[in-house]
Amino acid sequence: MYLSFRETFRRPAVELFTSFETPARWAELYGVAAPTRALEDGWYAVPLAKFPFPLVARNVALDAPRLVRWEFGGFWRGVGEVRFRAEGEQTVVEGFEYIVPHGLWLLASAVEERFMRREFERIWALGWRRLRKGE
C-alpha cells in the first residue's frame, strides 16, 4: 500500500521535525495502544490501536530539519519518508509511506484495501491534526 501526502503548517520546520526524528516520538502524533519499546540497533516497536502487530521501525536517514526516512521490519515491511521545506511563512511537509503486511502474499491487496488503507489514513490524519494544535 502506498500513501503520499502534502500538508502545510504555520510552524517552523524545526518544530515539526522533532515529531519524526525517532519512531519513539510517533506515539505523540498517533497515540499508541501500549508504550513504545526500544529494540536493538535503533529499532522501535510502536503498538497502534486496531492493529494486532506493532509497527517495528527505525530511521535510516536524518537531515535535520529537512528529511526523515525510515524502514519497517517485522510483520510490516516497507519504507517511508517526510521532507520539510519553507514556502513563504509556512512549512510544507511532503512524503510517502509504502507498507505491506509481510507473509500475506496473495491476500495482501485485499487486506490493504479493506482495512489497512483506511486505518493508516486515519492515523496520519490524527498526526496532522495534533501537529496543527501548536499553530
Please state the pTM of the whole predicted model: 0.87
H-assigned helices in the chain:
13-17, 26-30, 108-111, 117-132
Cell of 30: 498517533
Q: Are 99 and 80 in contact (CB under 8 A)?
A: yes
Tell me the per-residue pLDDT of 18-64, one tens digit each, with 9 for 90 and over: 999 999 998 888 777 678 899 999 999 998 877 788 889 999 999 99
Please report, for residues 47, 97, 120, 121, 123, the alpha-carbon distance to residue 3 in angstroms, rounded to integers and kept in the order given: 20, 5, 8, 8, 12
| Domain total of the chain | 1
Residue labelled with grid coordinates 502474499: 105
CATH of residue 124's domain is 3.30.530.20
pLDDT band at 117 (very low <50, low <70, confident <90, very high): confident
Residue 67 structural domain: 2-132
